Amino acid sequence: RKTDQTNLCLGLHSIPRHHPYYYALRILNAALGSGMSSRLFSVLREEQGLAYDVHSSVIFHRDCGALVVSAGVDPGKAEDALQVILEQLFDLINGISEEELHRAKQLTTGRLLLSMEDTYSSIQSIGGQHLITGKTETPAAITQDLLDVTLSQIRDLASSFITKDNICLSIVGPHKQSSKFDIILKG
């Protein structure tokens, strides 16, 4: 049976929910891989045609967190896609542009406000905040915290956890050996 897609998933340990750069990571994630104007979507899918789908997400708990990049790619393009994803990740250490920062803030705050229109999402947000932090913040306060994120916070945060020894890779697809992917990861 022929498999016509490879799924790549890169995970990096990041920061817990209570970390001072919590909002910066949400903005960094939006710039990297949330939405059609993100770096990963623009470069991997639109410019280079290396991915059917690509996005990033963040996970926050009390004592840990993760940044996750997921992509569905043609098996013959998996190595190239991994290389470009890593380049985009490590480029975050140099920071993002003012325009990317603005777009990421608009996307993140817009999605927050839209989610508050749904009762289930609102309750889930309030409950999650209370369970993890012991308090709840209003959508207006969260929006302001997101809008207050700076370019230097993004650079500082990225350089604190985007390292070669902090990347885990999972691949599902018709690949018999992982050695080529290991070489790319160790780069």
Q: What is the pLDDT of residue 186?
A: 83
Q: What is the pLDDT of residue 32?
A: 98
Q: What is the pLDDT of residue 44?
A: 96
pTM for the model stands at: 0.92
Q: Can you read off the two tokens belonging to residue 84? A: 């470009």
Q: What is the pLDDT of residue 76?
A: 92
Closest-CA residue to 39 (of 86, 106, 108):
86
Q: What is the pLDDT of residue 130?
A: 86
> Which regions in the chain score pLDDT beneath 70?
1-3
Q: What is the pLDDT of residue 121?
A: 83
Beta strand 6-13 with 53-60: parallel, antiparallel or unpaired? unpaired
CA 43 to chain CA mean position, Å = 15
Q: What is the pLDDT of residue 2?
A: 57
